[in-house]
């Protein structure tokens, strides 16, 4: 039987020392909740793009193995860098979740997928397709630095990032 997902509030309560030394960080509460999976966690894969979704799609075509894709889209509110088709592919490839510091589109389709998605908002315009961006680099978003290989925990209370996998 799979372990029950860890609640972010319980993780904070059980790890005050990690919060005080910065090994456990809470993202600012700026993200909207999408997708059917409201609670998810996993090791982080990072991506930095701006108004371009080619690398986002490439990542989600890979096997996710329970990872969470964290995409720093620069906070752009001018177009969506994630849509329904890549989210469906991410679900099928075993990704646990996707965090987008930017916009998504095809919200109804995404909300039908069994995957966790967080984004700033939705926007009907699609992104550029030039393939610009950086994979597996530290990103700064929602008040914290997130590195490839860290662990992310998300539920309806918020999003936490830890340098290592946590237990309660």
Contact between 12 and 160 (Cβ < 8 Å): yes
According to the model, what pLDDT value does residue 61 have?
96
In the predicted model, is pLDDT for residue 142 greater than 60? yes
Which tokens is 156 given? 């309806």
What is the tens place of the pLDDT at every residue in 40-85? 999 999 999 999 999 999 999 999 999 999 999 999 999 999 999 9
Contacts of 16 (CB under 8 A, 6+ apart): none
CA 92 to chain CA centroid, Å, is: 16
Read off the pLDDT band of 4 (50, 70, 90): low
Write down the pTM of the prediction. 0.95
């Amino acid at each position: 039987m799979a372990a029950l997902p860890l609640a972010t509030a319980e993780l904070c309560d059980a790890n005050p020392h990690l919060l005080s030394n910065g090994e456990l960080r809470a993202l600012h509460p700026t993200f909207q909740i999408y997708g059917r999976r409201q609670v998810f966690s996993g090791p982080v894969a990072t991506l930095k793009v701006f108004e371009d979704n080619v690398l986002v799609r490439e990542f989600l075509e890979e096997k996710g193995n329970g990872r969470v894709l964290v995409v720093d889209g620069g906070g752009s509110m001018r177009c969506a860098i994630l849509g329904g088709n890549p989210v469906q592919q991410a679900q099928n490839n075993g990704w646990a979740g996707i965090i987008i510091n930017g916009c998504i589109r095809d919200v109804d389709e995404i909300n039908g997928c069994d995957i966790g998605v967080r984004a700033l908002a939705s926007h009907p315009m699609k992104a550029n397709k030039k393939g610009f961006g950086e994979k597996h680099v530290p990103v700064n978003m929602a008040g914290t630095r997130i590195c490839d290989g860290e662990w992310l925990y998300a539920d309806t209370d918020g999003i936490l990032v830890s340098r290592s996998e946590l237990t309660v």
